[in-house]
Structure 1
Amino acid sequence: MDKQVVLITGGSSGIGKSIGTYLAEKGYTVYGTARNPQNYSDFNAFILIQLDVKSAESIQKAVSEVISKEGKISILINNAGVGITGPVEETPHEEILNVFDINFHGPVNMMKAVLPHMREQGRGTIINVTSIAGYMGLPYRGFYSATKGALGLITEALRMETKDFGITITNVAPGDFATNIAAGRYHSPISGQSHYQEKYSKTLKSINEDVDSADDPVKVARKVYKIINQESPKIHNPVGSFLQKFSLGLKKILPDKVYEKLLLNHYKL
């Protein structure tokens, strides 16, 4: 088998690190990215290079670096992302723009950067890491849901646009996994006068409890490995607990208001 070169954004921790480590152990040549790789001097799971998905210049530099060293990029995994919580009404607009820059515009610009190269080599795989939260508008996580939902829809569109180029484009949608995402998540500040204070606080506590008790992200890595080795993978590949995946099935068959009631009950709203 030809050498497979993988580029993973956001590879220094969490799901990205799990995917990179798993693929490196399977014999893939893996490049992960971090905004400040010098902060990970003890990192040795795979190669870390500098990349800021908010910078088009940084994206082009990282892609060129990998191609210069390895001659190709076989697989792009758009994993870099950030969490955000808060009432829609009270979330600062600059934070809305920031989360879309990282979770949506960043992956789009990464795909734009690698597509000419993949088209020239006649093959390639792009996997966008979305989220089960992207299939539904979750209370107090509306902007996170929106970014991941938008990335999932772009995946659908781009698959059809590139179908004649030998390029496979798909997504993997994790549920809750035990990562450090909560530490870097932006929380909208809520004053004592906010109409949302009590319910937002209750929902945030529930979200954090779900992450604390979640599964090992190696399950996402196994799913990615399976996708890479399938001749024709599905467009949408959710991975999570039985209940999380079951909820996606319920959303397809239940009336909207009934499904909304289930979410309200889950978050005790």
Structure 2
Amino acid sequence: METFHKQVVLITGCSSGGIGNALARAFAARDCLVVATARSISSMADLNGADDVYFLQELDVLSDNSVGEVVSNVIDKFGRIDVVVNNAGVQCVGPLAEIPLSSVEHAFNTNVYGAMRLIQAVVPHMASRKKGKIVNIGSVSVLGPGPWAGVYTASKSALHALTDTLRLELKPLGIDVISVVPGSVRSNIGNSAIASYTKMPEWKLYKKYEGAIRERAYFSQGPKATASKEFANKTVAAILKEQPPPWFSFGQYSTIMAIMYHLPIFIKDFILKKAMKC
């Protein structure tokens, strides 16, 4: 297998049906060698059978040892890592006043510290080559935080802020940092959100909002949500540019949310309260 000319791309959160899985396919279609990772290889079974394109690895972004081992394995096998995509993430739906702090911690551990763990593991390698790209997957919800998904939005807000700082700090080392901000993209995130939501306690102060809170888990998965393949193709094309954009946003609601960001707060609150039935 000739891999010298191929860019080596490491992606987290590549389980079937997710954005990471679609990104893996899009990078592979552009002649990249894709290191697809997830907490279990079985969750990426649909990527099996293409050994010349995908290198499947188990990776738990919550574990220093797991992250370090995968980074070492990839460098040993291919000699380099050209692009890292921090896509692994979890939803967390519920009212902030009652959501268990353990759930808050898990969301931040995955969405924020998980990304930083991989970044710190791979930056020394990229810096030694004076070359590399780090891509962090954020969310348009950051542009207009609304009810019932405050934990998820806060964790993505933190990731956005870290990405902005990393872009400036890593540029002198030859590393590009790109913030990818999906709108509503069709994926399995709604099912995952509901699966975790079933473990939440019964709300006391917000019992009458139970239906609205559950609906929030599926809000990004409406009939007009952007197809994951379309999102992935557009995103990968932007990332692989010689001079990639520092910010790339695509998908349903991406334009509307960009406008929302600049609206007066009372207008923004009115729109979000109505949309989220608060």
CA drift at 1:89: 0.9
How big is each residue's C-alpha offset from its partner over 1:101-154, in whole Å with a ceiling of 9 and x where there is no partner?
Answer: 100000011110110000001100111011111223221100000011110110
Query: Residue 3 of structure 1 corresponds to which residue in structure 2?
Result: 6
Query: Residue 209 of structure 2 corresponds to which residue in structure 1?
Result: 199
CA drift at 1:40: 4.5
**Paired amino acid for 1:222:** N
Secondary structure, counterpart of 2:171 in structure 1: coil
CA drift at 1:85: 0.1
Query: Residue 236 of structure 1 corresponds to which residue in structure 2?
Result: 247
How big is each residue's C-alpha offset from its partner over 1:147-180, in whole Å with a ceiling of 9 and x where there is no partner?
Answer: 1111011000011111111110011111222211
Gaps of 5+ in 2: none
Coordinate RMSD, CA, aligned: 1.9
Do 2:138 and 2:156's aligned partners in 1 also have CA atoms closer than 8 Å? yes
How big is each residue's C-alpha offset from its partner over 1:232-262, in whole Å with a ceiling of 9 and x where there is no partner?
Answer: 3332222112x4422222322x211211111
Secondary structure, counterpart of 1:176 in structure 2: coil
Query: Residue 80 of structure 1 corresponds to which residue in structure 2?
Result: 88
Do 2:190 and 2:220's aligned partners in 1 also have CA atoms closer than 8 Å? no
Match of 1:127 among 117, 122, 135: 135
Equivalents in 2 of 1:161, 1:147: separation in Å? 21
Equivalents in 2 of 1:57, 1:237: separation in Å? 31
Query: Residue 172 of structure 1 corresponds to which residue in structure 2?
Result: 180
Do 1:80 and 1:102's aligned partners in 2 also have CA atoms closer than 8 Å? yes
Match of 1:245 among 249, 255, 259: 255
Match of 2:266 among 233, 238, 257: 257
Secondary structure, counterpart of 1:162 in structure 2: helix
5 Å-filtered alignment, 1:65-104, equals: 65-104=73-112
Secondary structure, counterpart of 1:151 in structure 2: helix
Match of 1:29 among 28, 33, 51: 33
1:108 aligns with 2:145: no
Do 1:81 and 1:102's aligned partners in 2 also have CA atoms closer than 8 Å? yes
Gaps of 5+ in 1: none
Structure-2-length-normalised TM-score = 0.89
Among the aligned pairs, what percent are the same residue?
32
Equivalents in 1 of 2:120, 2:143: separation in Å? 24
How big is each residue's C-alpha offset from its partner over 1:69-127, in whole Å with a ceiling of 9 and x where there is no partner?
Answer: 00000000000011110000111111111110100000011110110000001100111
Aligned pairs, number: 266
CA drift at 1:39: 5.0
